Structure 1
Amino acid sequence: MWSRTFAGLLLGLLISISVVLNLNLLLPIKEDTMLLIGLLCAFPIWVGIQVWAYSFTSAKKAWLKLTIVLAPSALLNLLLLSLR
């Protein structure tokens, strides 16, 4: 149970930051609006991923699936930041 909790906390935080960064890099809006969107979206995404981590039957599956979700988002972050 604790391992799934840490998977949800750690990887959930990284996924939510990564998704919000992708949104900020893709949407052509002003900085203050991007900040507001990031603040409003990051916490619900993080909580949703934490809940999703508890739906797996084992901690190993939770870490694996959340890492599979994080990898493409992080790669898109790198691509968008390098093109900026």
Structure 2
Amino acid sequence: MWPKTILGLLLGLLISISLIVNLNLILPMSEPALLLLGLIVAFPAWAGLVVWSYAHPDAKSAAMSLLYVLIPSLCLNTILLLMR
């Protein structure tokens, strides 16, 4: 139970941050609107990812599922930042 909790908290936080960075780089909005959007979307996304980590039978499968989301999101972050 604790390994899935720690994985959900840490990897979920990284995924949440990465998704918000992707949204901020893709959407053509003003900075205050993007900040508000990030604040509104980040916490529910993070909480959902923590709950999703509990849906797996063990920590290894939870880590693999979270990494399958994190790695493409980080690649998209890199591409969008290089295109900026």
Which TM-score bucket, shorter chain as reference? over 0.9
Q: Which 5+ residue runs of structure 1 have no aligned equivalent?
A: none
What value does the CA root-mean-square deviation take over the aligned residues? 0.4
Q: Which amino acid in 1 is paired with 2:13?
A: L
1:21-73: CA deviation from partner (whole Å, max 9, x where unpaired): 10110000000100000001000000000000000001100011101110000
1:17, CA displacement in angstroms?
0.4
1:10-49 equivalences in 2 (<5 Å)? 10-49=10-49
Identity over aligned pairs, percent: 55
Q: Which amino acid in 2 is paired with 1:39?
A: L
Q: Which 5+ residue runs of structure 2 have no aligned equivalent?
A: none
SS across alignment from 1:46: helix
| Structure 1 length-normalised TM | 0.98
Cα distance between partner residues in 1 of 2:67 and 2:7: 9
| Structure 2 length-normalised TM | 0.98
After the TM superposition, which parts of structure 1 deviate over 4 Å for at least 4 consecutive aligned residues?
Answer: none
Q: Which amino acid in 2 is paired with 1:77?
A: N
